[in-house]
Amino acid sequence: MEGGGSVSVVDTEEAARALNLVVRMEKGEEVYFNDAARAASLAVIGLLYDERAADEWAEPIALWRRGHIRKLCRRARGAAWDKTSGLAHVEVSVGSATVRAFVPTLVSEQDPALSRLQLQGTEFTPDVEALLMQPNTPVVRLNPTAMMSGPKALVACAHALQLVVEKWEIQNPEQMVGWLGSGTAFSVARVDDTLWNTLGVLAGGLGDKFCEVVVADAGFTEVAPGTVTAVGLLFDPED
């Protein structure tokens, strides 16, 4: 569960809301990390920019945004996966991975089809993705020093993409909408310490030609509060 941006409502056990991500993990089938991270991130974007987000989903999304913007990553297979199909969601497939993002709800009132799914113990097959830095194409970079499980890393990726796309929408809405309609290409990668340490310096020297967001964890699970788990990056946001 990640935090970022301003928070106007402090989560309590009674008021906490979460957006659930569910990864399809069928027995005997490998799911690669980068596929899962991209599918999860794009599922969140797909849900937030779906036409229903301005209509029937508007209230639950607005209430969720007012808190810590929590995300929970679960896994399902077989009948358990099928049971989630009737809940309001957006589904995205990338390579080996299929992920559903569900309309946020109170954590205490989640549908049993979601609440009974496994939260912990999920790991993905590692793979390698090129460090693409192309104009007007978002990238997400994970902190190499933050010890995160596979699901935690997926949540960090999804949150970083959400924040950088929202910032891009403010800077250049026409360009961002064009990206939404053209396949939503972006890349995810864990980076080495040297590159990670240069990201802040790099952003500071590029001004309006560069967009960067930082995901600082709220500290509900796995890492200490304030840990930077990921950054979202975008070159040429004003071209």
Q: For residues 142 and 181, what is the distance between their CA atoms, to the nearest angstrom? A: 26
> In the chain, what percentage of residues exceed pLDDT 70?
86
Q: Tell me which CATH code domain 139-235 carries.
A: 3.40.1490.10
How far from 223 is each of 19, 20, 98, 112, 227, CA to CA, in Å?
19, 19, 26, 27, 7
Q: For residues 215 and 168, what is the distance between their CA atoms, to the nearest angstrom? A: 16
Q: pLDDT tens-digit profile of 103-161?
A: 999 999 999 999 999 987 788 998 876 666 778 889 899 998 889 999 999 999 999 99
pLDDT of residue 132: 66
Cα-based torsion angle of the residue sequence 192, 167, 209, 156 in order, rounded to the nearest 10 degrees: 10
For the chain, the domains span 2-115, 139-235
pLDDT, mean of residues 15-29: 94
Q: Look at the block and give the residue holding tokens 């056990």.
A: 13
Q: Do 2-115 and 139-235 share a fold?
A: yes
pLDDT of residue 10: 45
Note the CATH architecture for domain 2-115. Answer: 3-Layer(aba) Sandwich (3.40)
